[in-house]
Chains A and B, each alone.
Chain A
């Protein structure tokens, strides 16, 4: 028995129950019968429309700014999804119409073009570094200026969002905990990442004033997005679907602005962390502008289905390499980059070890047909691998001509998939199932670093002294005399020697130091010289050499050591 799993486009069979269902009058967006995938999409669209209505009501009922931010975010996500689903339905309808005009029977033989298998794409551990300037610190001294940010991720017609994070100047980067998984990606996928931000405090000009009493969504989306929504709704209006009722927000709610975006493709996939450039789209005048460093760090992995699911299985006779007449009967399972040969079909399911495994990778060569030494043995194929100096060939005999053809087809498909998915087929990349995200709770004020730090006077003075010593390169022979005023203990342990090539004596931190002090405010911008580390693009706005105020100027000449 040979079976093959290859995802093909499902069509509605004539006379099937599904077709009957459609004939009974559940026509929606098209005059032709909808493939089941379209009903799935329609269902999702209806769901998003309902969610959107809920979000609008919630937004109208919000009294607190933070609740309004969450509700506006939900609204934004719903709108984006509605737009994308509608666009997709439109595209499919068009494709159907075009397909029907040049009709050919659905199973007239092998597909003219080979299409690569689908895969799962997961992006996680997203981190966007920030770069606060000194001026920011000295500016809003009393109040902590806060922003609400989240990421919108789109692959094909699927849109997902991360949780919303409150950012203030005490954060060094924006870190999202979410794992975002897309299940129907092709190797040509484009994962678009958009960072949206809004001020947590009311934008001064709009506070309280019912300024933009638009009857459309533009007031909570931003003008260009609102235009897009209206345009797409108008084009889809004639399709007979129920018109989407647009709400009238009472007061201009919080406005999210697009701060940055980027698009990731297969080339960015790696089983590890990588840094990618962000295209920054807002500038300093925009109230929601954040000092983004200009890159995003994340882990983007992809699991093509050909690696995780068996693509073919069946009975084979394998000629043991080197022994001409010895053919072992096995149950072969082609999965990922291996052909596993089990003693019995059941072994594959029970987790028994296979009798042996034949590697199938980019360098493997497969030949079908009669071989010289296998004369008289029909329906064979041979698989050759190179291991260092040696070439090892396995000859496999299939049950029939049809089975041989199917095995060859499965192998060609696998080679095609490997050529398309490239590095994803070297090894299976792990994807952790994203934990179900808790619904956004009432936001407690996120503790900032300043709340956590127990700053003692001794810490401060000593730390400042130390920084000065290192930066200025002077050697402190004795601790400053005034230090004795703050401590009963004898003076500081041996201060650090100035920066030198010889291994600096490690700064020992006995108890007087307590918890080390944060240096985030003192961090200099990263060195942008050509020798600097990988894939950091030069910033669109190069920060000018900053006056360090109290501390020394210029690029860092320190090599700090901190105990942990």
Chain B
């Protein structure tokens, strides 16, 4: 019975708890949910219960690496170093923390997220293999959380759906479709051109016909100084005969 009990203890101690939780991206009203080299995950709150002494790590892997993924390869090894990802290391482990940082339940109104790829200072530092460095390519990537006690994996979540990051296009691909003329501009140009043409025609008509008397007719008027007032001086005529008498 003692041997049986010991065996039972050993079995539970070395068992890997497979949790049903699937890591997801944070809520979509974050503007920087996925950028070209980072993405934002929801924190795994209320997922790892009763593992007060475990370190919870985030594993980021390329999709091909998840089929025969070896949980025993520890975070410091070259096969799990961020700097060798994704060529020599098909996955890397980062963002380790204890469950104290993921208290349950989540307080309402708080933004509880994990930004993957935010540490740029250690991205090239081989002495920091657990660096949370920016991702080198748009992906896709799959992530899971792994709880380690010492170096023993004790619990893991499911792998997430593939996460693809944004790809940036070149500015030269922006079409410059700015040559459509608006209706207002066409109307303005047309009307002004017509008016100008009419004015030039009127000027021509004025110069050709206006100077001659042909069209002058009876409605021409004279300048004010040229108008003379004829006055009849009737007294002068009557005075003359009176003088002769």
A, B in one complex: no
